[in-house]
Amino acid sequence: MQRFLRPLAVLTTALLLACRPQDTAPVPLKDLAPFPVGASISPTLLKNNAAYRNVLSTEFSSISVENAQKWGTIHPEQTRFNFTDAETIVDWARANGKRVHGHTLLWHSYNPAWLTNFQGDSTAWENLMKTHIHTVVTHFKGRVASWDVVNEAFSDAGTLRNVEAKPEDGSVWRQHLGPDYIARAFRYAHEADPAALLFFNEFGQESNPAKLKATVDLAADFKRRGVPIHGLGLQFHLGVSQSENGLSEALRQTAAAGLLVHISELDILVSDWKKDPTLQYTDALQNRQSAKYKFIAQTYRLLVPKAQQHGITTWNVGDSDSWITQGLKYTDWPLLFDANYERKKAYFGFAEGLKN
């Protein structure tokens, strides 16, 4: 009897082992990709949602700070900085072995009212900019590996945002400090942490040739003048119908600038940026989105030389914490994970693109 039972027991154990759920889990994105894979994150979810933490620690190797380092959060009054939310994120990231990408030192948006209403001459404005950059970068020195120094400085015309038709599109920085404020911002950041990698981050390069040219020209100009810039960020907030040609061109021309290239805020809207509360997440849409995620991962690997690959970062983690569904209130499913942080078809498409 023993003779028969023993092989049976061995077989049963083998079968049980083969069916363990961890054996069916795919290789995490961070282990598939030859470069860092990131997500932008929120301190509230990090503290309160175990599934969110779990997917972050398993799948990602880099995190971007979603809102906690923007002026409105980190510098709420002229003489007061509030590092609490950013510390929550940076501490967690470091404890879990993740690279931290800081976001963002200067932007025209998300600024506190005291800053927008600040009265002062150009010297006073320069001092505000310099103090802010020095204080924030010094605070995180050695803990934040890279920074978006300036975000979205160009208008759709490919010229620097200045006074714009909609006041909220204008830039107080350009208005008060003249066109060369970007270069000075980079110098201030470099003074505060010479080891940090400094990025210029922009959106729309994939669909707006004038903006693409503007960012590439800025990089060339800074390199020529010895301004410390190390990388360009392509946000890639995309509609599912975004042309592949536009994406390839944006990556090709950005890579040709010779700096690091970061796909910095990736999401893919199946709504194609149309507000439609009746939209359904059909199989067909899921497949198209998955194919586009795959295309982006693949094209990034092919067109951006290894030494220039800063990585690909999605903007948020799951569909229900996306700024698209939460902030802008679109009916959409733009990310790799669903509302319960389960992997979607988009995830598997992206993973395919990372590995072959």
Active site residues: 152, 265
Q: Is 60 in the site for ligand GLA (CB under 6 A)?
A: no
Q: How far apart are alpha carbons 272 and 331 in whole angstroms? A: 11
Residues 265-284 that bind ligand GLA (CB under 6 A): 265
**Residue recorded with tokens 């669903």:** 338
Question: Given the complex with ligand GLA, which of 312 and 351 has the nearer CB atom?
Answer: 312
Which residue lies nearer to ligand GLA by CB, 181 or 323?
Answer: 323
235 touching ligand GLA, by CB under 6 A: yes
Task: Please tell me whether the peptide bond between 278 and the residue prior to it is cis, using omega within 30 degrees of 0.
Answer: no
Nearest-approach distance from CB 173 to ligand GLA, in angstroms: 15
Output the residue with the shortest Cβ distance to ligand GLA.
Answer: 323
Instruction: Name the minimum Å distance from CB 140 to ligand GLA.
Output: 17
CB of 149 to ligand GLA, least distance (A): 12
Residues 6+ apart with CB under 8 A from 265: 40, 64, 201, 203, 233, 235, 236, 237, 313, 314, 315
The residues in 103-132 that bind ligand GLA, with binding defined as CB under 6 A, are 103
**The residue to which tokens 């020195």 are assigned:** 141
| Residue 151 contacts ligand GLA per CB under 6 A | yes
Beta strands in the chain (DSSP E): 37-41, 62-65, 99-106, 146-151, 197-202, 231-234, 237-239, 260-269, 309-314
d(CA 302, CA 241): 21
Comparing CA positions, the residue from 45, 64, 59, 91 lying closest to residue 339 is 45
Tell me if 323 contacts ligand GLA by CB under 6 A. yes
Three-state DSSP class for residue 8:
helix
Nearer to ligand GLA, 52 or 236 (CB): 236
Size of the site for ligand GLA (CB under 6 A): 7
Do 349 and 290 meet the contact criterion of CB atoms below 8 Å apart? yes
CB of residue 312 to ligand GLA, shortest distance in Å:
15
147 binds ligand GLA (CB under 6 A): no
Amino acid type, 127: N
**Closer to ligand GLA by Cβ: residue 26 or 327:** 327
* Interface mask toward ligand GLA for 189-228; x: CB under 6 A: --------------x-------------------------
For ligand GLA, the binding residues (CB under 6 A) are 103, 151, 203, 235, 265, 323, 327
